[in-house]
Amino acid sequence: MILNERNTRYEHLLQTANQIMTAARTAPKGRGVDLIEIATVTGDDLAHLSKMMIEIGTRNDMAFFIRDAHCILQAEAVILLGAKEESRGLNCGYCGYPACADKPEMSKCVFNPLDLGIAIGSACATAADLRVDTRVMFSAGIAAKRLKFVGDCNCVFAIPISASSKNPFFDRK
């Protein structure tokens, strides 16, 4: 039997996406509370995500959303990482208030985006170890949030993945 890499690439990238999601899930979380949501977008949902990015970019005159939307279409998959909002009850004051009970509803607990950042770093490190091309995208995360691809997360980032001769997420037009 002869297996040509071009014929097995997509299946391999889906397995890689699963490993990347596991790395994000197992990243440390503040006070051991896991408020991270993780999903992989493939197939027709990539086009849906790209379309939403173009809508947002056009409506808000943000050309980089449109540029990134074209990059998304070159990805085999996009991994989404989001954080839900919940205070950790540490009364640390990092949010600007002396105690969690003093924090207004609109003020965010700093540990949620901090945990999300650690999970993103772990995901990207795993992607690098597995030799797939990535880029962390705020723009695709905003579109995924609007589409509710990861539920009710208030902060979402996206990591498109690709295995091609040239990383499609750098040297963008």
The confidence score (pLDDT) of residue 28 equals: 95
What is the mean predicted confidence (pLDDT) over 101-116?
A: 92
pLDDT at residue 94 greater than cutoff 80: yes
pTM: 0.93
Question: Using CA atoms, how far apart are residues 161 and 139, in angstroms rounded to an integer?
Answer: 15
What is the mean predicted confidence (pLDDT) over 127-153?
A: 96
pLDDT at residue 171 greater than cutoff 80: no
Token pair of 41, please?
Answer: 């977008």
The confidence score (pLDDT) of residue 14 equals: 96
Token pair of 101, please?
Answer: 């009970």
Q: Into which CATH architecture does domain 19-162 fall?
A: 3-Layer(aba) Sandwich (3.40)
Domain residue extents for the chain: 19-162
In three-state form (DSSP H/G/I as H, E/B as E, the rest C), the secondary structure along 10-65 is HHHHHHHHHHHHHHHHCCCCHHHCCCEEEEEECCHHHHHHHHHHHHHHHHCCCHHH
Question: In this structure, are residues 124 and 27 in contact, taking their beta carbons and an 8 Å threshold?
Answer: no
pLDDT one-digit tens code per residue, 61-75: 999 999 999 999 999
The confidence score (pLDDT) of residue 105 equals: 85
The confidence score (pLDDT) of residue 34 equals: 96
- Scored b (16 or more CB within 10 A) or e, 91-106 reads eeeebeeeebeebeee
